[in-house]
Amino acid sequence: MVPLNYYLLLSGVLFAIGIYGLISQRNGIRILMCLEILLNSANLNLVAFSSYHGNSTGQVFALFSIAIAAAEAAIGFAILIALFRVRDTIDLHNINILRW
């Protein structure tokens, strides 16, 4: 059995990669991918602690989180496609469609 520390270390590394990606990227698709990495690190924590404590509550929350992440990704990609059709770019620094 793998110790809990390894799962937490992996989750921390995934979280750090996701935060770095959110801060450093300009591309909308890459930012959505980094958000997915952040959510997956949280799901890994939920499942790891759930198995460590011997109950299934964390796994149920992880399933709900995965469903919400799928809906978030679908809406985010739809918004990016709509912006690409209007502006011909997905670089978020060049999109100023809501400015006065």
- Closest to 43 (Cα-Cα) out of 23, 73, 64, 19: 64
Predicted confidence band of residue 1 (pLDDT cuts 50, 70, 90): confident
The predicted structure's pLDDT at residue 10: 96
Question: Distance between CA 70 and CA 63 in Å, rounded?
Answer: 11
Q: Would you say residue 68 lies in a domain?
A: yes
Q: Would you say residue 64 lies in a domain?
A: yes
Q: Would you say residue 92 lies in a domain?
A: no
Predicted confidence band of residue 71 (pLDDT cuts 50, 70, 90): very high
Average pLDDT over the chain, rounded to an integer: 90
Q: Would you say residue 98 lies in a domain?
A: no
Tell me the CATH number at 39: 1.10.287.3510
Mean pLDDT computed over 6-29: 94
**Count of domains in the chain?**
1
pLDDT of 90 above 70: yes
Q: Would you say residue 42 lies in a domain?
A: yes
Q: Would you say residue 14 lies in a domain?
A: yes
Predicted confidence band of residue 22 (pLDDT cuts 50, 70, 90): very high
The pTM for the full model equals 0.84
E strand map for the chain: none
Range of the structural domain that residue 37 is part of: 4-87
Q: Would you say residue 16 lies in a domain?
A: yes
